[in-house]
């Protein structure tokens, strides 16, 4: 329906083009080389979930990973976090290979994974204490973080007493407090309602703008990916492999009104075509309204 | 059109008012008591026997005897035909079915009556002895069962090493070890504690292991990505996350330990509350038997109410359904977060706010 939209690549302003030129000159923070992941199946044949994934993330970049369901995007980010191991290939963080989970790669999950038995402040302190900060230092840093996310008032609340959006803000603060090199986010706003989701997106951009952090963000929401990211890694399903790396032609800082601008719509349209699975004939069923009541007044 | 139905108290899964709940709590005890009163005090409902008040000329019966109604009538017919003075009696229940007031009286007199023979235990001494045995058996079992269970639930290595044997051993009924325990540990308290240990430990370990395995994997992963060490994940994530459920398991297991008490107490020298019950049954003083049973039940109930209430104090983040007995306990011991709380006090919070603003 938006076939009148021009190609998104042509819409990039010189400023944005310049931004990307600077971006790729920044140091590479995280890199994957020829990553493969296979799962054994009951039939004995291994199913290839990720096939030959190679990409680089530069310092302070916001990279989204998007793809149809089952393309292995969650598996990919879990491998980056060290929670799962790749069958073959390499993951490098600052040039050093990644083998296990660690504090230098913070992670935010879709489920709010706050520790329910710890107060909000203690939750944020958890990572700091894990990397060897003493209690007082950890508490001071945690309180600063709660200030940044605007939840200082709730320091002594338990997570169960907060709304979903607030809990996810605490989870972000908890992941950022130990100053990771990269923040991995696995559909972090997927469980939130539409309104809170928009708020959280703007809020995340605000935090990202103000600190030195690189973000890898997995989502299945097109608007979210285009609105937030510098570049978007679109995956194919079965097996999951890189389809295209898209540079988003929108300037920074992002504003909600950009959701209606042609640059946004063209990029969205382009990715939509990329990741929408080809429709098979048997899926194209026709819906017929059947009059179940047998009563003319129903029609 | 759907009509809103007024179903009152019988709405499906709809919460009752507090007043209704207390009325129902009262009724759930009052109704069985009422049934007992009817059977005890209304002669034509049950009363299958006759208590002889005046034996007349009978050689077979004496005043105070309890005999079958048919036997009583037979004897009287014979006495009447032989011209003797007939017996008089009133309808009565068997000795094992005392009336509520007799049991109520025994609840007090059981404590006040000295033992029939020197050197035997008073009632309160018997209860104290029983509580001590249960407590020691349960404590020793928990000292081993809880840490081992947590290890099995956390590390598949220990799970495979320990649990198969425990699962196998679990099927031996604890009482079959009674004679062995006496042979090894003598006849005093030691074999009794051992029986409770055997009965509890082999259930406790798999239960604790299962509960530990139910720890939320997402929380463990979150801790891993925050750089927590293995030790820190075990101590600060796995254990705290299952602690409320472990506590609940312990409450259930304590109930089991009480069950094994009755077996344990007849092992070696008979002792404690079941000795008291056996003794009173021998004297055919069944009101004391009922009193003792009711007291055991009350100890168990109050113990559990207290533990439920205490659990809420130490796990303030858990706010699930509050049972009626829990609420009653709350009214007795005080509401949550007031007596003992791990949340910062107002004073501490103020101090920290000052620090923060400085």
How far away is chain A from the Cα of B249, in angstroms, using its nearest Cα?
18
Strand partners, B177: none
How far is C-alpha B139 from the geometric centre of its chain's CA atoms? Answer: 17
**Average of per-residue pLDDT values in chain A:** 88
Q: What is the mean pLDDT of residues B183-204?
A: 91
Residue A218 neighbours by CB under 8 Å, 6+ apart? A64, A65, A66, A73, A74, A76, A77, A184, A185, A186, A187
Task: Single out the residue of A39, A22, A174 nearest to residue A103, CA to CA.
Answer: A174
Q: What is the mean pLDDT of residues B47-72?
A: 86
Question: Smallest Cβ distance to B227: which of A103, A117, A184?
Answer: A103
What are the residues of chain A with a beta carbon less than 8 Å away from any beta carbon of chain B? 81-83, 100-107, 109, 111, 113, 115-119, 126-127, 130-131, 139-140, 143, 152, 155-156, 158-160, 171, 174-175, 178, 184
How are beta strands A105-108 and A182-186 bridged, if at all?
Answer: parallel
Q: Would you say residue B344 has pLDDT above 50?
A: no
Q: What is the pLDDT of residue A4?
A: 62
In-domain check, residue B155: yes
Question: Which H or E run contains A73?
Answer: helix A73-81
Query: Do residues A253 and A125 share a domain?
Result: no
Sign of CA dihedral A158, A164, A165, A170: positive
Contact present, B251 and B315 (Cβ < 8 Å)? no
Q: C-alpha dihedral over A213, A58, A199, A144, to 10 degrees?
A: 0
pLDDT digits (tens, 9 = 90+) for A198-235: 999 999 999 999 889 999 999 989 999 999 999 999 99
Subunit contact A156:B343, Cβ cutoff 8 A = yes
Three-class SS state of A208: helix
In-domain check, residue A189: yes
The proportion of chain B whose per-residue pLDDT surpasses 70, expressed as a percent, equals 87
pLDDT digits (tens, 9 = 90+) for A101-134: 989 999 999 988 999 999 999 999 999 999 999 9
Instruction: Quote the domain boundaries for residue A120.
Output: 111-179
Q: Would you say residue B4 has pLDDT above 80?
A: no
Query: Do residues A243 and A96 share a domain?
Result: yes
Confidence of residue A288 (pLDDT cuts 50, 70, 90): low
Confidence of residue A2 (pLDDT cuts 50, 70, 90): very low
- Chain A residues whose beta carbon lies within 8 Å of the beta carbon of residue B315: 117
Q: What is the mean pLDDT of residues B278-303?
A: 88
- φ, ψ dihedrals at A242, nearest 5°: -70, 125
Question: Smallest Cβ distance to B218: which of A113, A174, A175?
Answer: A113
Q: Would you say residue B321 has pLDDT above 70?
A: no
- Chain B residues whose beta carbon lies within 8 Å of the beta carbon of residue A153: none
How far away is chain A from the Cα of B234, in angstroms, using its nearest Cα?
13
Cα distances (Å, whole numbers) of residue B126 to B62, B273, B277: 35, 5, 10
Which domain-ending residue is among A179, A202, A228?
A179
Query: Do residues A127 and A224 share a domain?
Result: no
Q: What is the pLDDT of residue B140?
A: 96
Three-class SS state of B130: helix
Instruction: Quote the domain boundaries for residue B84.
Output: 49-92
How would DSSP label each residue in B347-358?
A: HHHHHHHHHHH-
Q: Would you say residue B105 has pLDDT above 50?
A: yes
Strand partners, A186: A218
Contact present, A65 and A76 (Cβ < 8 Å)? yes
Q: What is the pLDDT of residue B337?
A: 43
The proportion of chain B whose per-residue pLDDT surpasses 90, expressed as a percent, equals 36
Confidence of residue A289 (pLDDT cuts 50, 70, 90): low
Subunit contact A127:B224, Cβ cutoff 8 A = no
Q: Name the closest residue on chain A to residue B320, using Cα atoms.
A: A160
Query: Do residues B178 and B279 share a domain?
Result: yes
CATH number at A27 reads 3.40.50.300
**What domain count does chain A have?**
2
Confidence of residue B358 (pLDDT cuts 50, 70, 90): very low
Query: Do residues A132 and A267 share a domain?
Result: no
How far away is chain A from the Cα of B299, in angstroms, using its nearest Cα?
31
Q: Would you say residue B231 has pLDDT above 60?
A: yes
Contact present, A83 and B225 (Cβ < 8 Å)? yes
Contact present, B230 and B196 (Cβ < 8 Å)? no
Cis upstream peptide for B30 (omega within 30°)? no
Q: What is the mean pLDDT of residues B268-274?
A: 82
In-domain check, residue B88: yes
Query: Do residues B218 and B156 share a domain?
Result: yes
How would DSSP label each residue in A243-289?
A: EEEEEP---SS--GGGGGSHHHHHHHHHHHHHHSPPPPGGG-PPP--
Subunit contact B226:A174, Cβ cutoff 8 A = yes
Q: What is the pLDDT of residue B339?
A: 35
**What domain count does chain B have?**
2
CA A145-A147-A150 angle, 5° bins: 115
The proportion of chain A whose per-residue pLDDT surpasses 70, expressed as a percent, equals 91
Q: What is the pLDDT of residue A146?
A: 93
Q: Name the closest residue on chain B to residue A114, using Cα atoms.
A: B219
Question: Smallest Cβ distance to B227: which of A117, A119, A127?
Answer: A127
In-domain check, residue A3: no
Within 10 angstroms of residue B295's Cβ, the number of other Cβ atoms is 19
Query: Do residues A194 and A285 share a domain?
Result: yes
In-domain check, residue A239: yes
Q: What is the pLDDT of residue B241?
A: 92
Q: Would you say residue B349 has pLDDT above 70?
A: no
Contact present, B123 and B292 (Cβ < 8 Å)? yes
pLDDT digits (tens, 9 = 90+) for A152-197: 999 988 888 888 999 999 999 999 999 999 999 999 998 899 999 9
What are the residues of chain B with a beta carbon less than 8 Å away from any beta carbon of chain A? 216, 218-219, 221-229, 232, 236-237, 240-241, 243, 315-317, 319, 343-344, 349, 352, 355-356
Q: Would you say residue B169 has pLDDT above 80?
A: yes
Q: Name the closest residue on chain A to residue B349, using Cα atoms.
A: A156
Query: Do residues A95 and A202 share a domain?
Result: yes
Secondary structure percentages of chain B, helix, strand, coil, to 5: 70, 5, 30
Q: What is the mean pLDDT of residues B240-262?
A: 89
Complex ipTM above 0.85?
Answer: yes
Which domain-ending residue is among A145, A179, A213?
A179
d(CA B136, CA B293) in angstroms, rounded, equals: 21
Q: What is the pLDDT of residue B342?
A: 39
Three-class SS state of B310: helix
């Amino acid at each position: 329906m938006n076939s009148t939209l021009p190609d998104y690549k042509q819409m990039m302003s010189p400023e944005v083009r310049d931004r990307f030129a600077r971006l790729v000159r920044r140091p590479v923070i995280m890199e994957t080389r020829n990553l493969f992941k296979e799962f054994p199946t009951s039939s004995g044949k291994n199913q290839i979930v990720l096939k030959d994934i190679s990409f680089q993330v530069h310092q302070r970049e916001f990279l989204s990973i998007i793809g149809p369901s089952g393309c292995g995007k969650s598996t990919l980010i879990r491998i980056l976090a060290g929670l799962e191991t790749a069958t073959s290939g390499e993951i490098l963080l600052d040039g050093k290979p990644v083998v296990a989970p660690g504090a230098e790669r913070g992670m935010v999950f879709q489920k709010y994974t706050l520790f329910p038995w710890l107060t909000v402040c203690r939750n944020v302190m958890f990572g700091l204490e894990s990397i060897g900060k003493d209690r007082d230092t950890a508490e001071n840093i945690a309180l600063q973080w709660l200030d940044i996310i605007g939840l200082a008032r709730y320091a002594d609340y338990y997570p169960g007493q907060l709304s979903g959006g607030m809990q996810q803000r605490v989870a972000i603060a908890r992941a950022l407090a130990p100053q990771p090199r990269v923040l991995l986010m696995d559909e972090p706003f997927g469980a939130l309602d539409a309104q809170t989701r928009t708020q959280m997106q703007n809020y995340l951009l605000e935090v990202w703008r103000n600190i030195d952090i690189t973000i890898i963000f997995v989502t299945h929401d097109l608007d979210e990916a285009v609105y937030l990211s510098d570049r978007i890694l679109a995956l194919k399903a079965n097996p999951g492999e890189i389809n295209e790396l898209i540079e988003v032609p929108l300037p920074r800082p992002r504003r909600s009104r950009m959701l209606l601008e042609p640059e946004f719509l063209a990029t969205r349209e382009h990715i939509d075509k990329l990741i929408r699975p080809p429709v098979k004939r048997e899926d194209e069923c026709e819906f017929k309204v059947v009059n179940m009541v047998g009563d003319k007044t129903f029609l | 059109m759907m009509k809103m139905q007024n179903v009152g108290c019988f709405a499906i899964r709809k919460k009752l008012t507090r007043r209704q709940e207390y009325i129902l709590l009262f009724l759930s005890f009052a109704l069985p008591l009422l049934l007992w009163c009817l059977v005890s005090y209304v002669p034509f409902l049950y009363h299958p026997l006759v208590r002889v008040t005046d034996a007349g000329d009978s050689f077979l019966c004496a005043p105070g005897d309890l005999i079958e109604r048919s036997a009583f009538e037979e004897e009287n017919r014979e006495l009447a035909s032989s011209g003797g003075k007939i017996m008089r009696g009133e309808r009565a229940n068997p000795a094992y079915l005392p009336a509520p007031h007799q049991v109520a009286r025994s609840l007090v007199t059981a404590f006040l009556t000295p033992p029939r023979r020197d050197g035997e235990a008073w009632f309160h001494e018997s209860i104290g002895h029983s509580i001590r045995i249960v407590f020691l058996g349960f404590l020793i079992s928990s000292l081993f069962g809880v840490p081992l269970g947590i290890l099995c639930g956390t590390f598949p290595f220990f799970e495979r090493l320990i649990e198969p044997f425990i699962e196998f051993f679990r099927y031996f009924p604890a009482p079959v070890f009674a004679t062995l325990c006496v042979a090894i540990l003598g006849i005093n308290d030691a074999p009794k504690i051992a029986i409770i240990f055997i009965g509890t430990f082999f259930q406790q370990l798999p239960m604790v292991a299962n509960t530990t395995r139910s720890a939320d994997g997402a929380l463990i992963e979150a801790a891993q990505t925050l750089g927590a060490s293995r030790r820190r994940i075990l101590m600060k994530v796995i254990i705290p996350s299952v602690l409320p459920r472990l506590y609940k398991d312990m409450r259930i297991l304590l109930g089991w330990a009480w069950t094994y008490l009755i077996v344990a107490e007849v092992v070696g020298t008979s002792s404690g509350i079941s000795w008291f019950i056996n003794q009173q049954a021998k004297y055919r003083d069944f009101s004391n038997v009922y009193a003792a049973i009711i007291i055991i039940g009350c100890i168990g109930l109050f113990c559990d109410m207290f533990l439920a209430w205490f659990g809420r104090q130490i796990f303030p983040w858990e706010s699930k359904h509050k049972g009626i007995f829990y609420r009653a306990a709350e009214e007795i011991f005080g509401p949550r977060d007031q007596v003992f709380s791990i949340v910062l006090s107002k004073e501490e919070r103020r101090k920290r706010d000052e620090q923060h603003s400085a």
